Amino acid sequence: MKMSLTMPQIRSVLLVATAAGLGTTPSWAEPRADVTRDVQGIAVATCLTRQSDPVLKEQGEGWLQMLSERAKAQPEDWKDLSDTIDAALAEAMVPVVMGDKPGEERPMPLILCAELTDDPIVARQVDLLIERLRPAYQAR
């Protein structure tokens, strides 16, 4: 099933979400732990490296390199997560939005990658990697 929204529809959804407080973080919310931020970043960056767009691919590769250095982790440390992302992407459909011209559609692979950590199987692998890397973060 394709998801198609026009730009005005997207703006309306964002406006309603913001007005409802869904687009803001309450002041009492705690920030994500560093290990959570980094592992979720690894998942999204890995997805970006799998895209055909050279800019997205380059951004994903650079992000992974930065996260690898910051996390003191290597790609083999997140191989299970990477394999799970590959499997999820094989079944996923890239969302599209309607362009400005009639019948024009624009694929939105960035949305796919940003929301990939919501996939239950990917989320489970993210959680497992967080637990495996947590001791290294606590030792800092």
Domains of the chain in start order, with CATH, are 34-138 (1.20.120.1620)
What is the share, in percent, of the chain residues with pLDDT greater than 70? Answer: 79
pLDDT tens for residues 7-36?
Answer: 655 555 555 455 455 555 555 566 788 999
pLDDT tens for residues 49-80?
Answer: 999 999 999 999 999 999 988 877 778 889 99
Asked whether the beta carbons of 40 and 123 are under 8 A apart, the reply is: no
Task: Give the pLDDT confidence score for residue 98 in this predicted structure.
Answer: 87
Per-residue pLDDT averaged across 91-115, rounded? 90
Confidence of residue 1 (pLDDT cuts 50, 70, 90): very low
Task: Give the pLDDT confidence score for residue 9 in this predicted structure.
Answer: 55
Task: Using DSSP, state whether 107 is helix, strand or coil.
Answer: strand
Token pair in block for residue 48: 């970006």
Task: Give the pLDDT confidence score for residue 4 in this predicted structure.
Answer: 61
Per-residue pLDDT averaged across 83-103, rounded? 92
| Dist. CA 45–CA 50, nearest whole Å | 9
Instruction: Give yes or no for residue 41 having a pLDDT over 90.
Output: yes
Task: Give the pLDDT confidence score for residue 115 in this predicted structure.
Answer: 94
The residues, ordered by sequence, that sit 6+ positions from 4 with a Cβ below 8 Å of its Cβ are 96, 97, 98, 105
Cα distances (angstroms) measured from residue 28 to each of 24, 31, 56, 95, 133 = 12, 10, 34, 33, 27
Task: Give the pLDDT confidence score for residue 29 in this predicted structure.
Answer: 63
